[in-house]
Amino acid sequence: MDFELSPEQREIQGLARDFARQEIEPHAAAWDREHRFPREVFTQLAALGLMGTCVPEEYGGSGADFLSYILVLEELSRADAGVGVTVAVHTSAATLPLLAYGTEEQRARFVPPLARGEQIGAFALTEPEAGSDAGALRTRADVDGEGWRITGAKQWITNARYAGTFLLFARTDQDQPGARGVSAFVLDAEHVRVTRDEEKLGLNSSATNDIVVEGALVGRDRLLHEEGKGFKVAMGTLDGGRIGIAAQAVGIAQAAYDVARAYAKERHAFGRAIAEFQAIQQKLADMSTQIDAARLLVYRAAWLKDKGESHTEAGAKAKLFASEMARQQTGEAIQILGGYGYTKEFPVERYYRDAKITEIYEGTSEIQRFVIAREILGLAQRTFTQG
């Protein structure tokens, strides 16, 4: 067993950390306050190769492994969780499934603009009445000539307003209920109309939109994987995506811990630095331990994915633990800062608001427990295919 990162992994981690410290963190409070999507940051990240970290070089990426990409997400999220989720959805939920499930023609056509960051990617699964029950989606793709005519509405689509490529799920077989009969399509921005910008508790520097597709006509070249197998594409994609959200949660919690630790050493009460009081020491010890534990779960899941092994269970465990940990520990960071923690003078209230969503998107904690239970009880009857 080897807990060392490789020299390449450390180099990418350092690159992301330095960029995040210099170009993201100083602006994060303003972006949060102004609800501003920092489009220019993604152009800068693209120049560093970080919009396609784990995409092979032949498709325009940096050719690093999945764990390297996870390290990037952790560092970006430590500076600004909104930037973190934008890159996470762009990469794990849009670019990687095109690589994993696309034909060679589709890979060559759709992946390079995403991996080079010329375009941002989006993942359109959720609908007003299909959230946790993703198989209940109603967007339809009706056969029309050689292709399909797609009609429907999607909700809470990260990146939609700025996206050039959408991985969108629609029902091709109206007689099949639930997950069966769903197919995956690759759409362009011109096929989609953004109808709303969501107002959220946090992650204010990320875009979350409602979209509609109004009879867009697409050819067979837009079908990803086999007809009727789109739900497997969605689930395989989320298996990897959940590791990314877990990394985001670790990054947020680390940021909160860093602030709380520094504050505890500086702030004096009753004649001493508050870090000298056991009540504060115990909190910091718990925070540090919980962050370490979450990070190890995240890295293990990424390592399994890099080895081409099933990571459904490991990814769900990493996301479940890391997201609940981040919500709890960002709350503890506020507690250590006391009144200051509740104000905008310090960033911990933002971390607390940002952490909450990691327990919800890419599958709620309840869905993660359901997925884990199915795996450990041997109730998921399927063979693993790398997504």
The reply to whether 231 sits near ligand CAA by the rule CB under 6 A is yes
Residue selected from 13, 91, 95, 158 as contacting ligand CAA according to rule CB under 6 A: 158
Residue selected from 180, 193, 196, 300 as contacting ligand CAA according to rule CB under 6 A: 180
Residue selected from 236, 251, 341, 347 as contacting ligand CAA according to rule CB under 6 A: 236
Q: Who contacts 4 (Cβ-Cβ below 8 Å, separation ≥6)?
A: none
Least distance to ligand CAA, CB of residue 33, Å: 22
Question: Whose CA is closest to 74, among 97, 46, 57, 50?
Answer: 50
The residue range among 263-271, 277-285, 323-331, 360-368 that interacts with ligand CAA, by the rule CB under 6 A, is: 360-368
Report the alpha-carbon distance of residue 238 to residue 361 in Å, rounded: 10
Residue selected from 154, 263, 363, 372 as contacting ligand CAA according to rule CB under 6 A: 363
- Extract the tokens encoding 311: 């990571």
CA–CA distances in Å: residue 20 to residues 15, 48, 238: 9, 12, 26
Residue whose tokens read 């362009």: 188
Residue selected from 89, 94, 256, 294 as contacting ligand CAA according to rule CB under 6 A: 89
The reply to whether 367 sits near ligand CAA by the rule CB under 6 A is yes
Return the number of the residue (254 or 358) whose C-beta is nearest ligand CAA. Answer: 358
The reply to whether 239 sits near ligand CAA by the rule CB under 6 A is yes
Residue selected from 125, 192, 203, 264 as contacting ligand CAA according to rule CB under 6 A: 125
Least distance to ligand CAA, CB of residue 315, Å: 9
Least distance to ligand CAA, CB of residue 247, Å: 12
Return the number of the residue (74 or 332) whose C-beta is nearest ligand CAA. Answer: 74
Residue selected from 312, 323, 329, 330 as contacting ligand CAA according to rule CB under 6 A: 312
Total of residues contacting ligand CAA (CB under 6 A): 27
- Extract the tokens encoding 154: 């999607």
Report the alpha-carbon distance of residue 184 to residue 330 in Å, rounded: 37
CA 191 to chain centre: 24
The reply to whether 235 sits near ligand CAA by the rule CB under 6 A is yes
Question: Whose CA is closest to 360, among 191, 168, 131?
Answer: 131
3-state secondary structure of 343: coil
Q: Who contacts 378 (Cβ-Cβ below 8 Å, separation ≥6)?
A: none
Residue selected from 22, 43, 103, 132 as contacting ligand CAA according to rule CB under 6 A: 132
Residue whose tokens read 């009460």: 269
Q: Is 362 a catalytic residue?
A: yes
Least distance to ligand CAA, CB of residue 357, Å: 8
- Terminal CA-CA length for the chain: 25
The residue range among 144-152, 215-223, 232-240, 338-346 that interacts with ligand CAA, by the rule CB under 6 A, is: 232-240
> What one-character DSSP code corresponds to residue 276?
G
Report the alpha-carbon distance of residue 184 to residue 125 in Å, rounded: 9
Q: Who contacts 118 (Cβ-Cβ below 8 Å, separation ≥6)?
A: 46, 164
The reply to whether 85 sits near ligand CAA by the rule CB under 6 A is yes
Write phi, then psi, for 328 (nearest 5 degrees).
Answer: -65, -45
The reply to whether 184 sits near ligand CAA by the rule CB under 6 A is no
Residue selected from 102, 135, 341, 347 as contacting ligand CAA according to rule CB under 6 A: 135
The residue range among 72-80, 119-127, 215-223, 276-284 that interacts with ligand CAA, by the rule CB under 6 A, is: 119-127
Determine the Cα angle at 375 with ends 122 and 167, to 5°: 15
The reply to whether 343 sits near ligand CAA by the rule CB under 6 A is no
**Largest Cα–Cα distance in the chain?**
80
- Extract the tokens encoding 354: 């940002």
From the candidates 324, 349, 359, 362, give the one annotated as an active-site residue: 362
Contacting positions for ligand CAA (CB under 6 A): 85, 89, 93, 123, 125-126, 132-135, 158, 178-180, 231-232, 235-236, 238-239, 312, 361-363, 367, 371, 382
> Mind telling me the catalytic residues?
362
